[in-house]
Chain A
Amino acid sequence: MKKLIFLTLLFASTAFGQIQPEPAGVIQTLPESWPPHWIIVQDGAFFHMNSGKFIVVDADSDDPATRFKGMFNGTFIPQFFQAESRPEMYVTETFYSRGTRGVRTDVLTIWDKQTLSPVAEVVLPPKRASQMPMNYHIQLVDDEKLALVYNFTPATSVSVIDIVNRTFLGEVPTPGCSLVFPMAGRAFASICTDGSMLSVQLDEDGQQASTARTDVFFDANNDPLMEKAAMVDGVAYFPTFLGRMVPVDMRGESLEVGDTWSLLGAGDDGWRPGGLAVTGTDGAGRIYVLMHPDGYEGSHKDPGAEVWVFDPATRQRVDRIALQLPAISIGLTRDDNPLLVATNINLEVDVYDVASGEFQRTLSDIGAETPFLLHGAN
């Protein structure tokens, strides 16, 4: 017994001697402008959807203890968009009064990039599309003064929000057409089930001023467009299931459908685009497409084994990056020396250096279970 007490005293004195008191309650903030290789991992929390989250990670770091930069929430399959002109991020969320049941409330939550705290919210009609995380659910137009949110009840419409004054302005019906693609000025486009696109011009109050429809330009039954467009300088590039690329110029008052080109070259038979987040773009305006071999009817969500890089000006493939594990989603950092990040089939986030095409690391221990989308930080 005496020996036990002695040992305890010895241990206690040693422990106190080695551990420095750590200051508690320290709240740090992130820089207003984030380093270019930080990414935002969108965890849709597929197995418990009321607790989604966004995790800010330094994709350059090999140190799990320091690469995690922070986290913020998004409830019931949130959708996400980053502003370019303000240090703000926008998340659409759904809340029920009893957690998983009860009265539904939808909000657009405005998150501050430095504190990762919600600074404001706008209550929306409880109609936002409850769908898997995907880009083009939220967009900003009119020099980032208006936010647009895609609704699906299944009647489709778009909620218009004055994001500067944080007020809901109204709802524009988009019958038979889905998602929001940003057009020049106060306008947006939406992709329609009959194989056309709708464009909507808004007035100063955010209400519908006029609408127009393109001619039918794709075959929704035989070679549908993937709604997962890559936007480069105001042109949306839509891959099709069979590997064509369809550009739609959104810079004018009306939509201009451009000439279709093929993603496939000689010897590429059987390769098709596929996955969840299939496309990405970098700061130089190149387009990245997640591709899989031996495609078949129904393989449009299959994981990709390679990422093909295209120059939309020349319509040529300029690079081909083989993935160390097939991936379901890709993202790019926005700088001149970009990283390709990819959610692999084990739902881990892999990092590749675009210049060399080399795999660099897996971002383990970041607390993400189902990292469906990866965003390069603005």
Chain B
Amino acid sequence: MILRLVVLSLMFAAVHATADDERAHVNYMLHCQGCHLPQAEGFAGRVPPMKDFVGFFLHSAEGRDFLIRVPGVAHSALDDFEITELMNWLLQSFSAAQLPATFTPFTVDEVAGLRRDPESAPEAARNEILSKIAADLPTLAVALAHEE
């Protein structure tokens, strides 16, 4: 009985542990695009655009953490694996050109830890993180100037 349970669990884990772009996209449609819109273009002044932008966050450790600690992600109804899968898909799909060359995908353990410590002042944190990155990254500075 226990053996069978273990085998089943392993099977389930194995099935689930393979990232699936289609499942990530469906989860994006169900849980994100209502506000962020189908191409992650956002809504000027209200919903930050992620298209051709969200990859900039990966240029600092705080920025990487922020993408998981922001309440919409941290509090999402998705589980840790699904969030990891979705975020890695999203970064490659909407903002690959902005990612640093050293980018490594999010891991499930990393996401699990970060989302349990949600950011309590997301707007202030976002501004601070981005201005720090922009100091060393002219392309982001230009994008931010364009945003204002």
Contacts and interface: CB of A to CB of B under 8 A. Distances in A.
Interface string B120-135: 1111000000000000
Contact of B118 (A153, A176, A221): A176
Contacts of B122: 155, 173, 175
B46 A153 contact: yes
A211 B72 CA distance: 19
B123 A173 contact: yes
A175 B119 contact: yes
A154 B43 CA distance: 10
Contacts, number: 36
A173 B120 CA distance: 8
For chain B, give the interface size range. Answer: 10 to 19
Interface in B66-105: 70-72, 74-77
Contact of B121 (A153, A175, A220, A221): A175
A221 B79 CA distance: 11
A193 interface: yes
A361 to B, nearest CB: 42
For chain A, give the interface size range. Answer: 10 to 19
Given A153-B46, A154-B35, A194 B75 contact: yes
B120 A175 contact: yes
Main secondary structure of the interface of A (DSSP, over half): loop
Interface in B17-66: 35, 46-47
Contacts of A173: 120-123
Nearest to B69: A175
A211 B120 contact: yes
A192 interface: yes
B47 A194 contact: no
Interface in A158-180: 173, 175-176
B77 A176 contact: no
B123 A221 contact: no
Given A153-B47, A154-B35, A194 B120 contact: no
Contacts of B71: 175-176, 193
Contacts of A153: 46-47
Contacts of A155: 46, 122-123
A154 B121 contact: no
B75 A193 contact: yes
Interface of A: 153-155, 173, 175-176, 192-194, 211, 220-221
13 contacts: A153-B47, A154-B47, A154-B72, A155-B122, A173-B120, A173-B123, A175-B71, A175-B120, A176-B72, A176-B74, A176-B75, A176-B118, A211-B120
Interface of B: 35, 46-47, 70-72, 74-77, 118-123
Given A153-B47, A176-B74, A194-B118, 9 more contacts: A154-B35, A173-B123, A175-B70, A176-B71, A176-B72, A192-B75, A193-B75, A194-B74, A220-B77
4 tightest Cβ-Cβ pairs between the two chains A and B: A176-B71, A193-B75, A175-B71, A176-B75
